[in-house]
Amino acid sequence: MKLIHRAKILPVLFFILVFTGTLVGQIVFNSFKLVAGPTNLENNRAAQLEHVFKTLNLVDHNGINYEMTKLSSRVIVINFWAAWCVPCLEEMPGLVQLQKQFKDSEVMIFGVNEDSEDQSRNIEKISAKFAIQFPLIPDKNSALANRLFIANIPQTLIFKDGKIMDIIQGQKDFTAKEFTETLRSAIRP
């Protein structure tokens, strides 16, 4: 009779022991308040981007030159895209809408085209299709993308006062309230 009783209690005791151990482990883990911060690799990339930004001049498809150091008091949004990239084209209306929400003296958007063929024609076509008013930069042979360590598109770099605010890899909803509020808070003195 005692043997049967022990066999019934043993799984219950095992469960209580495991549950208690898990609970204690969770309490100890939470007491350290561990927060994932940027890795050394991310910090190094940010430093490299900020270094390149200081010397960056962008020339749009109309030949207008933009020196980033003269614009650095604004929030600078540099979006890398191509006409063949569906996610890039899907986020274009959001970039157009974003530009309408801010003055050029607050936020300056640049679209950097990564097409390897028919670049001028693709820039004109996409510009007309989406009624783009911000500067579109042809990136011949991906020279700019290479300088800024862009490996995939769409990708967006956001700078303020020469410092990197954000690196967005992949498609982004630029009209999202959280995103626009982040830009607004960066603009406020």
Q: What is the pLDDT of residues 82-134, one digit of tens each?
A: 999 999 999 999 999 999 999 888 999 999 999 999 999 999 999 999 999 99
**23 token code pair:** 């609970």
Q: Phi-psi category of 162—alpha, beta or left, where left has phi over 0 and alpha has psi -120 to 50? A: left
Looking at residues 63-68, what average pLDDT do you find?
Answer: 94
Full-model pTM:
0.77
Distance CA 55, CA 59 (A): 13
More confident residue, 14 or 181: 181
